[in-house]
Structure 1
Amino acid sequence: MAKPLQHISHTAPGATRRRAGATRHSTLDGSNTMTSFRFGHAADPDWRQAVDRCLTQIGSVPQEATLGFLYVTDALADELDEIIRTFRGATGVDQWVGSIGLGICATGAEYYEEPAIAVMLGEFPTEDFRVFPSLVEDLDDFDLRNGEWMGANPPYLGLVHGDPSNALTEALIQQLAQRTTAGFLVGGLASARADALTIADGVTRGGLSGVLFSERVGILTRLSQGCSPIGPHHVISEGQRNILMRLDGEPALDVLKRDIGEILARDLSRLGGYIFAGLPIQGSDTGDYLVRNLVGIDPNHGLVAIGDLVEPGRELMFCRRDADTAREDLDRMLKGIKGRLPAPPRGGIYVSCLGRGVNLFGPDSAELKQIHAALGDVPIVGFYANGEISQDRLYGYTGVLTLFT
């Protein structure tokens, strides 16, 4: 059994081991190092041109390339089947995972609301990963299909993509995380104007799909928050479903007004997209918390509704969406994950919230350029999600970085 992940950050067992069949090259001092994964990204109104430009950047495909990571803006959703088939034929890589998004990203670059593609070819022994199609209601069929592989190759961590319209998605995330030895998943929910399509070899929809990696794959992952607390922790004294009635024995709205300050309290219509509820994660040694939207206020009865079920006795705090704090926290996360790297990473996946990126960090790919400044020319692909996945939870306004070592 693998040692459990320290919350949000961990080096997988075997991360520094040489893996059979992996590509190596020699440095000037004669030591062997693992080569970076091949990747490409491009925007073009013609999806064929975007694919060709990605393939040009990839160049010759290593024989060891076995798993493709593919992220496509939803402007190309109708062509997703053809895009997958074209990459499969051109690279010889049969297995693919990924998602569509209103925005996608790659090393130092972000693409929004334009036809764009980001692709990376991972090099893993085929017995060390398992792609699975959408889980829509339960894991019964998943266990039947994958039980033998999981018994021989205990899965350590999963990269997953989900459909935000499926009410069971969060429960499926929790159940699938229990199938891994670390209890850990990373990924996000597809974001789209129409169907929330995901990729698991072909186009999938309606549930949770992705890939599980065995304990032999070297992986590090960490999460960065995009909101900062603005007041103390409060105890939910009384609540029903998603409605906060009393905090610390006082009407919930009175507590909210006190925490946000007099100026904001005069005009509560300004709170949307700026002030949120934060639910501290019990047992977290990093002070981690789940950010949830404020979805309603009842001034007559002092009630506050949030985008999650409330539980009397649980702690809650109010948070502010803050660009400066988000940049500082991303920098903290990058320093932390960089300090744990046993060697330069071969590639990575970055899943960020739609509320981040240009909407929080500013234009000109500022969020991805901050990552590039910290890590250098590491191949990274990913997307802007409608909810981010880390460990066994669904987050909001966060960035989840996963590196392969």
Structure 2
Amino acid sequence: MTRFGDALTTGADLVNAAERAVLQALEQVDGLADLVCFFVSGTDPEEVTLAGAKVMELSGGAVTLGCSATGVLGGGRGVEGQGAVSVWAARLPEVELTPFRLDTVVEDEQLAVVGMREPGPNDRAGILLTNPYEFPTQAFVRETTAALDGLPLIGGMADGMRGEDSVRLFSDGEVVDNGAIGVLIGGEGVLGTVVSQGCRPVGPSMTVTKAEGNLLLELAGENAYEKLEELVEELSDEDRELAERGLHIGVAMDEYADQHEHGDFLIRSLVGADSELGGLTIGDMVEIGQTVRFQVRDAGTADEDFARRLTEFGAEHAVGAGLLFSCNGRGDGLFTRADHDVLAVRRILGAAPVAGFFAAGEIGPVSGVNHVHGFTACLLAFAP
């Protein structure tokens, strides 16, 4: 019996598209799914809600998990900016599934997250979908590696075509518009994760010698802003053009490595530069003593990085299916085609049932630590 199925349907009638997608996906597993994940994009939030409810209604006794999005992946293709429903169904008879829903409460004048299940001894990974407009995704994910005893989390931030008011989360028959939802997955059927940040380093690695929070003030004992200016002047014309479009900075994940090369960094955006202060503002906290290196990104680099990581993973594992969380800045915006990432997974890993969505921020582990990313492709792989 086939263990996995996926389908992507489009149409003006989003509820009808949802019905067709879930029935097609379930047919591939003889209607015996244990887990159904689905993703809905549409211009009308009410139609998105009804479409998600229809998928859950037709999923039988399966655990269901899904969200709204501005684009979806499945059936070997990607669709952005129009009405579409992607459904992924899995028959996992020996896998434990533990759904959870997270909310925030105020405790001692501080915001606390409640509802997270404690991982069991057989849990291999957790899928997490969040509403980024009102759930503290980055702060929560940052703490999960220690709190969940190293359990990898993978998933993404939901979105909608009308922004904040159009975000929907779907979990086990319920439609919610706040917090976060997810499921812990236990058993040998979960192979692991692939996270591709799609950048390559430029210039030398440098030690942070002065910093305050996410403000980088000195690199290798010199003014950080002036160091950046020196770097840009020394770049090739091609790399200088990429840097002008958007420069990133990589924070080394292993300070004890002899060298820090491609793939050794957690990539963060360079969000501001102040010539008077001499500082650089980056999209995360940085500490004195950490090693950083500037990074650039383009379609060729992103394609090469994803292909390399998939190939390395495939050399160690036979993959039967996957859930894919790709940044909404990838797809047509980066590769001029929405299906780039899903086709790469199918081509390199030979995994046909692959579904997911274009996220407003992706969740996945780097060097064993869970992080929220941007411009990233994150895959959760399952055994055939």
Measured against the shorter chain, the TM-score band is 0.7 to 0.9
Aligned partners of 1:170 and 1:393 also within 8 Å? yes
User: What do the CA deviations read for 1:291-337 (whole angstroms, capped 9, x no partner)?
Assistant: 22222222233222112222222221111112111111111112112
Within a 5 Å distance, the mapping from 1:379-398 to structure 2 comes to: 379-391=353-365, 392-398=370-376
User: How many Å separate the matches in 1 of 2:228 and 2:137?
Assistant: 30
Aligned residue for 1:155? 123
Aligned partners of 2:331 and 2:338 also within 8 Å? no
Does residue 321 (structure 1) correspond to residue 297 (structure 2)? The answer is: yes
Q: For 1:197, give the aligned amino acid.
A: R
Within a 5 Å distance, the mapping from 1:2-401 to structure 2 comes to: 24=1, 35-55=2-22, 57-58=24-25, 60=27, 62=30, 64-125=32-93, 128-137=96-105, 141-142=114-115, 146=117, 150=119, 154-166=122-134, 168-178=136-146, 180=148, 182-192=150-160, 193-195=163-165, 196-201=167-172, 202-261=174-233, 271=243, 273-282=245-254, 287-342=263-318, 344-345=319-320, 347-363=321-337, 365-376=339-350, 378-391=352-365, 392-401=370-379
Number of aligned residue pairs: 363
User: How many Å separate the matches in 2 of 1:42 and 1:284?
Assistant: 49
Change (3 A) 1:204 1:217: farther
Measure how far apart 1:43 and its partner are.
1.6
SS at match of 1:360: helix
SS at match of 2:100: strand
SS at match of 2:288: coil
User: What do the CA deviations read for 1:43-87 (whole angstroms, capped 9, x no partner)?
Assistant: 212102312431453363635312210111253532333223322
Change (3 A) 1:124 1:317: same
Q: For 1:213, give the aligned amino acid.
A: I
Aligned partners of 1:80 and 1:203 also within 8 Å? no
SS at match of 1:91: coil
> In percent, how many aligned pairs have the same letter?
27
User: How many Å separate the matches in 1 of 2:50 and 2:135?
Assistant: 29
Q: Which moved more, 1:114-123 or 1:55-64?
A: 55-64
User: How many Å separate the matches in 2 of 1:128 and 1:63?
Assistant: 19
Root mean square deviation, CA, Å: 2.9
**TM-score of the pair, normalised by structure 1:** 0.80
SS at match of 2:276: coil
Measure how far apart 1:389 and its partner are.
1.2
User: What do the CA deviations read for 1:104-124 (whole angstroms, capped 9, x no partner)?
Assistant: 111431111101110011222
User: What do the CA deviations read for 1:120-163 (whole angstroms, capped 9, x no partner)?
Assistant: 112224870111112435777536xx46xx55x64221011122
User: How many Å separate the matches in 2 of 1:139 and 1:378?
Assistant: 40
User: How many Å separate the matches in 1 of 2:256 and 2:187?
Assistant: 24
Aligned partners of 2:9 and 2:84 also within 8 Å? yes
Q: For 1:327, give the aligned amino acid.
A: D
Aligned partners of 1:361 and 1:367 also within 8 Å? no
Aligned partners of 1:102 and 1:384 also within 8 Å? yes
Change (3 A) 1:326 1:172: same
Change (3 A) 1:369 1:300: same
SS at match of 2:164: coil
Aligned residue for 1:14? none
SS at match of 1:261: helix
SS at match of 2:228: helix
Aligned partners of 1:291 and 1:397 also within 8 Å? no
Change (3 A) 1:302 1:191: same
Q: For 2:314, give the aligned amino acid.
A: K
Q: For 1:121, give the aligned amino acid.
A: A
Q: For 2:333, give the aligned amino acid.
A: N
SS at match of 1:114: coil
**Structure 1, gaps ≥5 residues long:** 1-23, 25-34
**TM-score of the pair, normalised by structure 2:** 0.84
